[in-house]
């Protein structure tokens, strides 16, 4: 009988404990935008945004040096990563280039930017990693580029990881901006 009481007590204690608090993170730029202002048609737009399967999930990802990864259960992106990356990159590339970059292609798109994010995670050495590739296509020709950088975390925890990833994405947007043609119609080299 004592064992049954002990089991019931343990089960009741387990049921009454609070589940861990989930923290959700938004990927947002600090670039100020004016609401209701129409985008100027620069003829430049984001095309495909592809994200590696292992990071295309709600949980923020940490990678260990031995090739294993851990997706956080209680520290998650507030929206799908492909959606927030498209919005973030369009805004940051626009800011860096001084031209409005459409977040989606249209019939008036003369220059298309395809981005593939291969790595975007925390590393065991206390840094964030971002490896991405992009292609700028204009007038039937295209050029491909690679970005690979790390950013030391400014503190402990997932908040510091998100801030470091944002800093890396900002530098990626600046690199993409520098690769854009000076005028729609030719690809920069």
Residue 5 confidence (pLDDT) above 50: no
- pLDDT value for 8: 46
What's the sign of the alpha-carbon dihedral 123, 172, 76, 31? Answer: positive
How many whole angstroms separate alpha carbon 166 and alpha carbon 89? Answer: 10
Would you tell me how many other CB atoms lie within 10 Å of the CB of residue 148?
13
Which pLDDT band, with edges at 50, 70 and 90, does 185 fall under?
very low
CB 96 within 8 A of CB 56: no
Q: Residue 57: helix, strand or coil by DSSP? A: coil
**For the ranges 1-15, 96-110, 117-131, which has the lowest average pLDDT?**
1-15
How many whole angstroms separate alpha carbon 106 and alpha carbon 112? Answer: 10
Query: What average pLDDT does the chain have?
Result: 84
Proportion of the chain above pLDDT 90, given as a percent: 60
Mean pLDDT of 17-41: 73
- pLDDT value for 16: 55
How many whole angstroms separate alpha carbon 177 and alpha carbon 92? Answer: 9
Give the tens place of pLDDT for each residue, 122-181: 998 999 999 999 999 987 889 999 999 999 999 999 999 999 999 999 999 999 999 998
Residue 6 confidence (pLDDT) above 50: no
How many whole angstroms separate alpha carbon 27 and alpha carbon 78? Answer: 8
Cα–Cα–Cα angle for 118, 70, 156, rounded to 5 degrees:
95
CATH of range 37-179; options 3.40.50.10610, 3.40.47.10, 3.40.50.2300, 3.20.20.70: 3.40.50.10610
């Amino acid at each position: 009988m004592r064992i049954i009481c002990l089991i019931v007590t343990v089960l009741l204690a387990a049921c009454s404990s609070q589940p861990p608090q989930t923290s959700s993170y938004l990927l947002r730029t600090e670039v100020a935008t004016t609401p209701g202002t129409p985008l100027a048609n620069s003829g430049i737009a984001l095309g495909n945004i592809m994200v590696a399967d292992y990071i295309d999930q709600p949980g923020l990802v940490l990678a260990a040096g031995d090739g294993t990864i851990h997706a956080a259960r209680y520290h998650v992106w507030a929206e799908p990563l492909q959606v927030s990356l498209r919005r973030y990159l369009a805004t940051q590339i626009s800011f860096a280039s001084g031209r409005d970059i459409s977040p989606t292609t249209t019939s008036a798109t003369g220059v298309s930017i395809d981005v593939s994010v291969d790595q975007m995670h925390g590393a065991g050495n206390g840094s964030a990693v971002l490896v991405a590739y992009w292609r700028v296509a204009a007038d039937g020709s295209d050029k491909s580029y690679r970005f690979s950088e790390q950013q030391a975390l400014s503190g402990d925890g997932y908040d510091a990881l998100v801030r470091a990833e944002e800093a890396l994405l900002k530098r990626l947007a600046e690199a993409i901006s520098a690769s854009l043609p000076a005028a729609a119609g030719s690809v920069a080299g």
